[in-house]
């Protein structure tokens, strides 16, 4: 290990190689629950430097873990003891923006919101907008196939990535995809998105930019029961209207948010829906009317329509500060990220409340309802003995309920370490074996982010006839 | 094993008997993915190359494949699970685009697959990764394949992706399978994301497609053909009318897509979107009989009666010099053998080969159809 540190230091200098216990402690965790072992932390500033550190790690048999801002919620960037942790936040340049093709090449360390701000004067933005967008990086978004409220109409990160430059397990560099559509051969660009740092380190990203909307309105709809709100969501989708965003927050969440930012949310409603209608000025009025009608038909007690930019911004600030707001309730939180068919939301949510009650834990809900992407969030104090175990057990039951309703484990946070042992609840041994084959094609020796995504023993079959 | 799988296995053994001289193409039509997997396992045992056909509408795309055994998907042609309220559908690979769209009309939904190829099959379109003109607005087909089941080259049935509209659960297997041209195995049922058809649509004839694209808000498509440009709009009636007025030009209701013709030769320029006008010039220089240019997307598909090798080589090297490709999408087999269907293999060809070797270790699935002999 000392030899590896020497070589890394010779390459990057003292201040970009850290093995001080304090750094090791800081970087042993992301925004999820688990803490890992002590890594050697490096801060490369170019693709060549990434390639070089990967080769050094390879020569010393060190596992390699990529890290962006560390806001991941699945333990994806959590290192094991003795790993090389490659932090990409210094690779944060926006290289070039093509206005005609509406694309840009950017470094993986560019912060999500910075990209949209940098392209705003050209009338463009990067559509995926995770709630963590003022902190998380484009590289992290690519690696987790991140979502966000506005991915309902625009699609998750994968629909917005046209190409990547990748440093592979052996330290070589390759470009996948590109500006031209439908690159011949396999769509390895698409495979890299959502691969959580297990197939290579993304060192440059070609993003698709989306033209800004011409007109916008935000609707805040209040309901007396969760079921009414959930039915409204199902009916909106079934009507074929896909609003730009359709989010749900339950009463405990609204109360927490109101205490925190005073966004004007009702604190007496069982649930609210927040919808964004974006588009051409001649079309938004009709969509607003349609949404309000469906809400009222399903028992909405009030529908507030905000067309003024500052009023809209305030309503969205409420939604986006949800995670900050819950910190007042308890120091820790844990949330699931399951997705269920939009026809099953009401039923799954009510079972989720039952589980929380049975385990006697504090449950709040704030989620991407339009996609069926649930985020039942448990707020707790990990210092309380046995509490973490209870929370994890309850969360697992909630996952089981979602899977039984035809859902899946994660809509946007990824599998990482925290959900990998649940993978066999949604994939057969053959399915997992196929995924393991793909991983092996990129990383024969298993040096990239080992122990993440796939449960141990996924590679269960022989290679078949030779 | 099913009767068909057993019969195929016996047939394969005979084909590989050196004393038997066969010169024929055998076509089998499995009725389930398990059956297809058994046939593939038997073929892998004897190293027999297999080609896959849907309706056979795109048989000429890719490098020519030599295979005596053909698996067709025509006996897997049902719509298995239609969930209009969740905007999803599960379809078997042999269903044609025409049949699928017809089944979706009751709720005015669409799978946004190629608009002018009603006889192509869903499996074929997914395998070839083909998209329709509306990709400018809705993205390419691969963005809507949420889950896919494949009978792999090693003879197992594997499902990738998730049965919901949004997921970050495991590797993007649907991305890998979509556009894999059957080189990893036979693509079976897929779960597709649907969109609702807008209440109003219009087609406007314009002089300059690029100018019109910038004046329009999220059009479906902006196409250029010989002598005309067209922009396609969808939305509410008010929205479409307001836009038609702002753009100017002759407007008519509905989506009037360019009618496909079947030239003996078809080329596809795939270039960064800012080079579309230049690609049109390059296509014309080769004496195209017709073309459709997709503005904002970066595809120009052109038809020819004949091409010269020199002219073609120059056009291909131009396309590659701007970061694109010039693909032969239809031609007599000999021409694709001579010129190569795809051009220079992508930088990632070695990685691609690693993937191919793990899903088709015996190298029997559509061998050589992709660039780099994959
Ligand atoms: C308050 C809060 C709100 C959130 N809201 C959302 C939300 O709305 N939607 C959503 O999708 N997520 C959300 N997240 C989760 C998280 O922000 C996203 O997963 C984000 O994409 C992670 O980015 P990051 O830069 O922090 O990546 P990290 O946490 O550093 O890493 C995440 C994963 O990506 C890998 N990785 C990072 N960079 C690279 C690279 N360059 N190459 C290869 N692999 C790499 C890591 O190894 C790890 O597996 C939220 C998190 C928090 C704390």
User: In chain A, what are the domains?
Assistant: 2-87 (3.30.43.10), 94-211 (3.30.465.10), 215-323 (3.30.70.2190), 329-404 (3.30.70.2740)
pLDDT, averaged across chain B: 94
Closest-approach residue (CA) in chain A for B43: A465
* Atom 11 of ligand 1, residue of closest alpha carbon: A146
Ligand 1 proximity of A332 Cβ (cutoff 6 Å): no
> Where are chain B's structural domains?
6-74, 79-196, 200-253, 265-331
Mean pLDDT of A119-136: 95
Q: What is the pLDDT of residue A117?
A: 97
Going from the Cα of A194 to the center of ligand 1, the distance in angstroms, rounded, reads: 10
Three-state SS string across B316-359, please?
A: HHHHHHCCCEEEEEECCHHHHHHHCCCCCCCCCHHHHHHHHHHH
Report the nearest atom of ligand 1 relative to the CA of A71: 26
Helix (H) or strand (E) holding A309, with range, is helix A309-320
Q: What is the pLDDT of residue A465?
A: 33
Confidence of residue B356 (pLDDT cuts 50, 70, 90): very high
Contact A148, A337 (CB under 8 A): no
Interfacial A residues in 195-234 facing B (CB < 8 Å): 195, 211, 214, 234
Helix intervals (H) in chain B: 3-15, 33-46, 97-104, 122-128, 135-138, 173-177, 209-215, 237-247, 276-285, 309-321, 333-339, 349-359
Closest-approach residue (CA) in chain B for A452: B170
Say how many residues make up chain B: 374
Confidence of residue B58 (pLDDT cuts 50, 70, 90): low
Q: What DSSP designation does A410 have?
A: B
In whole angstroms, give the CA distance from residue A100 to residue A46. Answer: 27
In whole angstroms, give the CA distance from residue A56 to residue A167. Answer: 13
Closest-approach residue (CA) in chain A for B370: A185
ipTM field: 0.96
Q: What is the pLDDT of residue A146?
A: 98
Give me B328's structure tokens. Answer: 């032969």
CB-nearest to B361 from A412, A430, A466 is A466
Q: What is the pLDDT of residue B21?
A: 62
Is the model's pLDDT at A464 over the cut of 50? Answer: no
In whole angstroms, give the CA distance from residue A306 to residue A213. Answer: 16
Is the model's pLDDT at A12 over the cut of 50? Answer: yes
Is the model's pLDDT at A462 over the cut of 50? Answer: no
Q: Minimal CA–CA distance to B354: which of A127, A125, A169, A74?
A: A169
Confidence of residue A43 (pLDDT cuts 50, 70, 90): very high
Give me A254's structure tokens. Answer: 């609204």
In whole angstroms, give the CA distance from residue B277 to residue B273. Answer: 9
Q: Minimal CA–CA distance to A249: which of A374, A371, A351, A150?
A: A374
Contacts with B169 from chain A: Cβ below 8 Å: 408-410, 415, 423, 426
- 0.80 exceeded by pTM: yes
Fold of B200-253: Alpha-Beta Plaits (3.30.70)
Give me B259's structure tokens. Answer: 């009618």
CB-nearest to A159 from B87, B139, B154 is B139
Strands of the sheet with B185-193, listed across from one edge: B79-83, B88-91, B185-193, B145-152, B157-161
Confidence of residue B23 (pLDDT cuts 50, 70, 90): low
* Atom 18 of ligand 1, residue of closest alpha carbon: A72
B81 close contact with A: CB closer than 8 A: no
Confidence of residue A466 (pLDDT cuts 50, 70, 90): very low
* Residue A344 distance to chain B (closest CA, Å): 9
Ligand 1 proximity of A326 Cβ (cutoff 6 Å): no
- For residue A155, the SS3 value is coil
Contact B204, B244 (CB under 8 A): yes
Asked whether the beta carbons of residue B143 and residue A431 sit closer than 8 angstroms, the reply is no
The CATH architecture of the domain made up of B6-74 is 2-Layer Sandwich (3.30)
Concatenate the DSSP letters of all residues of B55-80 into one string: SSTTTTSSS----SEEEE-TT---EE
Contact A143, A202 (CB under 8 A): yes
Ligand 1 proximity of A77 Cβ (cutoff 6 Å): yes
Give me A21's structure tokens. Answer: 């216990």
Q: What DSSP designation does A226 have?
A: H
Contact B288, B239 (CB under 8 A): no
Q: What is the pLDDT of residue A167?
A: 98
B110 close contact with A: CB closer than 8 A: no
Q: What is the pLDDT of residue A463?
A: 38
Give me B75's structure tokens. Answer: 């006996």
Fold matches, B6-74 and B200-253: no
Asked whether the beta carbons of residue A406 and residue B359 sit closer than 8 angstroms, the reply is no
Contact A146, A74 (CB under 8 A): no
Contacts with A435 from chain B: Cβ below 8 Å: 160, 170-171, 173
What are the pLDDT digits (tens) for A301-350? 999 999 999 999 999 999 988 888 887 778 888 999 999 999 999 999 99
Q: What is the pLDDT of residue A327?
A: 77
In whole angstroms, give the CA distance from residue B163 to residue A406. Answer: 7
- For residue A182, the SS3 value is coil
Ligand 1 proximity of A69 Cβ (cutoff 6 Å): yes
What are the pLDDT digits (tens) for A362-379? 999 999 999 999 999 999
Confidence of residue B284 (pLDDT cuts 50, 70, 90): very high
CATH class (in words) of the domain with range B265-331: alpha beta
Is the model's pLDDT at A96 over the cut of 50? Answer: yes
Contact B355, B347 (CB under 8 A): no
In whole angstroms, give the CA distance from residue A191 to residue A438. Answer: 9
Is the model's pLDDT at B22 over the cut of 70? Answer: no
Q: Residue A84 pairs with which residues in a beta bridge?
A: A40, A64
Three-state SS string across A1-27, please?
A: CHHHHHHHHHHHCHHHEECCHHHHHHC
Strands of the sheet with B200-206, listed across from one edge: B250-253, B200-206, B228-235, B221-225, B290-294, B299-304, B265-270, B325-330
In whole angstroms, give the CA distance from residue A81 to residue A249. Answer: 39
Interfacial B residues in 137-176 facing A (CB < 8 Å): 139-140, 142-143, 152-160, 162-173, 175-176
B84 close contact with A: CB closer than 8 A: yes
Ligand 1 proximity of A139 Cβ (cutoff 6 Å): yes
Asked whether the beta carbons of residue B172 and residue A238 sit closer than 8 angstroms, the reply is no
Asked whether the beta carbons of residue A182 and residue B342 sit closer than 8 angstroms, the reply is no
Asked whether the beta carbons of residue B164 and residue A407 sit closer than 8 angstroms, the reply is yes
- For residue B185, the SS3 value is strand
Instruction: Determine how many CB atoms are found less than 10 A away from the CB of residue A96.
Output: 10
Q: What is the pLDDT of residue B20?
A: 66
Give me B105's structure tokens. Answer: 């009309």
A429 close contact with B: CB closer than 8 A: no
Q: What is the pLDDT of residue B10?
A: 87
What are the pLDDT digits (tens) for A386-428? 999 999 999 999 999 999 999 999 999 999 999 999 999 999 9
Ligand 1 proximity of A201 Cβ (cutoff 6 Å): yes
Q: In A9-32, which positions are buried (b, 16+ CB within 10 angstroms) versus exposed (e)?
A: eebbeeebbbbeeebbeebbbbbb
Q: What is the pLDDT of residue B134?
A: 98
Going from the Cα of A75 to the center of ligand 1, the distance in angstroms, rounded, reads: 10
What are the pLDDT digits (tens) for A135-187? 999 999 999 999 999 999 999 999 999 999 999 999 999 999 999 999 999 99
Closest-approach residue (CA) in chain A for B219: A280
Fold of B79-196: 3.30.465
Give me A333's structure tokens. Answer: 């939180």
- Percent above pLDDT 70 for chain A: 98
Contacts with A146 from chain B: Cβ below 8 Å: 168
């Amino acid at each position: 290990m000392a030899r590896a540190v020497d070589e890394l230091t010779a390459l990057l200098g003292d201040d970009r190689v850290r093995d001080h216990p304090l750094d090791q402690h800081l970087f042993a965790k992301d925004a999820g629950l688990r803490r890992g072992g002590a890594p050697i932390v490096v801060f490369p500033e170019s693709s060549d430097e990434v390639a070089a550190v990967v080769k050094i790690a390879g020569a010393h048999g060190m596992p390699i873990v990529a890290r962006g801002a560390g806001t991941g919620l699945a333990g994806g960037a959590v290192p094991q003891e003795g790993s090389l942790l490659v932090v990409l936040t210094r690779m944060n340049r926006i290289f070039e923006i093509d206005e005609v093709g509406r694309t840009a090449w950017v470094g993986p360390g560019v912060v999500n919101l910075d990209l949209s701000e940098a392209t705003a004067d050209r009338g463009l933005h990067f559509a995926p907008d995770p709630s963590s967008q003022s902190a998380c990086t484009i590289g992290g978004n690519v690696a987790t196939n991140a979502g966000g409220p506005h991915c309902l109409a625009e699609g998750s990160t994968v629909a917005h990535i046209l190409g990547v430059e990748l440093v592979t397990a052996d330290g070589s560099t390759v470009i996948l995809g590109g500006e031209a559509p439908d690159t011949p051969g396999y769509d390895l660009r698409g495979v890299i998105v959502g691969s959580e740092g297990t197939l290579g380190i993304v060192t440059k990203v070609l993003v698709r930019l989306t033209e800004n909307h011409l007109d916008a309105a935000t609707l805040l709809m209040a309901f007396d029961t969760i079921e009414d709100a959930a039915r409204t969501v199902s009916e909106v989708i079934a009507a074929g209207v896909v609003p730009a965003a359709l989010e749900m927050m339950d009463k405990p969440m609204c109360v927490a948010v109101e205490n925190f930012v005073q966004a004007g949310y009702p604190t007496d409603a069982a649930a609210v829906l927040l919808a964004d209608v974006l588009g051409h000025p001649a079309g938004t009025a009709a969509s607003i009317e349609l949404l309000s009608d469906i809400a009222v038909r399903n028992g909405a007690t009030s529908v507030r329509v905000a067309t003024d930019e500052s009023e809209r911004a305030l309503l969205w600030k409420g939604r986006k500060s949800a995670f900050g707001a819950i910190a007042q309730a308890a120091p820790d939180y844990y949330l699931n990220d399951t997705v269920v068919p939009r026809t099953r939301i009401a039923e799954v949510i009510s079972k989720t409340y039952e589980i929380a009650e049975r385990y006697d834990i504090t449950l709040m809900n704030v989620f991407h309802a339009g996609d069926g992407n649930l985020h039942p969030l448990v707020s707790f104090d990990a210092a309380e003995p046995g509490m973490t175990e209870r929370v994890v057990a309850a969360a697992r039951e909630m996952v089981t309920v979602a899977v039984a309703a035809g859902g899946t484990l994660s809509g946007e946070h990824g599998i990482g370490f925290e959900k990998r042992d649940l993978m066999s609840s949604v994939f057969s041994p053959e399915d997992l074996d196929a995924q393991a084959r793909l991983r092996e094609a990129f990383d024969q020796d298993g040096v990239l982010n080992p122990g993440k995504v796939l449960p141990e023993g996924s590679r269960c079959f022989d290679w078949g006839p030779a | 094993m099913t009767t068909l799988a057993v019969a195929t296995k016996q047939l394969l053994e005979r084909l590989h008997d050196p004393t038997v001289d066969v010169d024929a193409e055998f076509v089998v039509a499995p009725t389930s993915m398990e059956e297809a997997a058994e046939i593939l396992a038997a073929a892998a045992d004897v190293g027999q190359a297999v080609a896959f056909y849907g309706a056979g509408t795109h048989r000429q795309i890719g490098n020519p494949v030599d295979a005596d055994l053909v698996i067709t998907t025509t006996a897997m042609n049902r719509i298995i699970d239609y969930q209009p309220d969740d905007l999803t559908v599960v379809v078997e690979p042999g269903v044609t685009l025409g049949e699928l769209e017809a089944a979706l009309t009751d709720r005015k939904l669409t799978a946004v697959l190629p608009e002018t190829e009603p006889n192509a099959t869903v499996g074929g379109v997914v395998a070839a990764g083909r998209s329709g003109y509306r990709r400018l607005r809705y993205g390419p087909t691969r963005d809507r394949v949420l889950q896919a089941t494949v009978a792999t080259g090693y003879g197992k049935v594997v499902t990738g992706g998730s049965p919901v509209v949004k997921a970050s659960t495991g590797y993007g297997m649907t991305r890998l399978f979509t556009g894999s041209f059957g080189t990893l195995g036979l693509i079976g049922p897929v779960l597709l994301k649907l969109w609702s058809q807008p209440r109003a649509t219009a087609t406007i004839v314009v002089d300059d497609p690029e100018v019109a694209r910038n004046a329009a808000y999220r059009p479906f498509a902006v196409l250029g053909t010989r002598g005309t440009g067209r922009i396609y709009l969808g939305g509410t009636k008010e929205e479409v009318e307001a836009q038609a007025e702002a753009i100017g030009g002759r407007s008519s209701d509905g989506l009037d897509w360019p009618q496909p013709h079947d030239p003996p030769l078809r080329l596809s320029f795939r270039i960064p979107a800012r080079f579309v006008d230049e690609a049109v010039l390059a296509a014309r220089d080769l004496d195209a009989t017709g073309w459709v240019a997709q503005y904002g997307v970066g595809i120009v598909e052109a038809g020819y009666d004949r091409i010269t090798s020199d002219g073609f080589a120059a056009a291909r090297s131009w396309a590659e010099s701007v970061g694109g490709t010039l693909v032969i999408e239809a031609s007599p087999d000999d021409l694709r053998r001579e010129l190569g269907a795809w051009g220079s293999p992508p930088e990632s060809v070695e990685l691609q080969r690693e993937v191919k070797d793990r899903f088709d270790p015996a190298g029997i699935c559509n061998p050589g159809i992709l660039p780099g002999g994959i």
